[in-house]
Amino acid sequence: MRDIVRLLIQAAREVQSEELRNALLTAAEEEVRAVARRPRKRVLENAEKLKFPLTISLVSPERGKVTATLNADASVVLDGEEYPTPSSDPLMKSLGFERGNAWPRWRFELDGQTYPIQVLRDNDLIQTRKR
């Protein structure tokens, strides 16, 4: 968001047309407002129904849909092997991903709705390292 707003403001400074300058500044202001309206954390309703270990899944480029187990300490068990986090490099490489944050990729179901496991971390429902 900041990059977009910064570019819009920079472009507004460089244009000659007052009409275009106003349009660019209006677009920057609308982007700031849109981001401000977005909720920062997704609240998990019925969190008391969660039971660990929790079944989680993602779609792997090499293996298709993969199901694993997420423990309360954020470790993941996949194919009998335990990994320290859902984003650990060895786990991601075994699934065909490069390094990166996998928290948004892994999903779990609760009351017929699918959520990214990031929601567990956002709502302090899982033990994780300090971010």
Q: List per-residue pLDDT tens for the chain, 131 residues long.
A: 568 888 888 999 999 999 999 999 998 888 888 776 765 566 677 778 888 999 999 998 888 999 999 998 999 999 999 999 998 889 998 898 877 678 888 999 988 889 999 888 888 888 776 44
Question: CA geometry: angle at 31 spanning 25 and 34, to 5°?
Answer: 140
Checking phi first, is residue 89 left (phi over 0); if not, alpha (psi -120 to 50) or beta?
alpha
Q: Report how far residue 33's alpha carbon sits from residue 95's, in angstroms, rounded to the nearest whole number.
A: 38
pTM, whole model, 2 decimals?
0.64
The span from the first CA to the last CA of the chain, in angstroms, equals 21
Pair of tokens at residue 45: 């309703």
Q: Would you tell me how many other CB atoms lie within 10 Å of the CB of residue 31?
A: 15
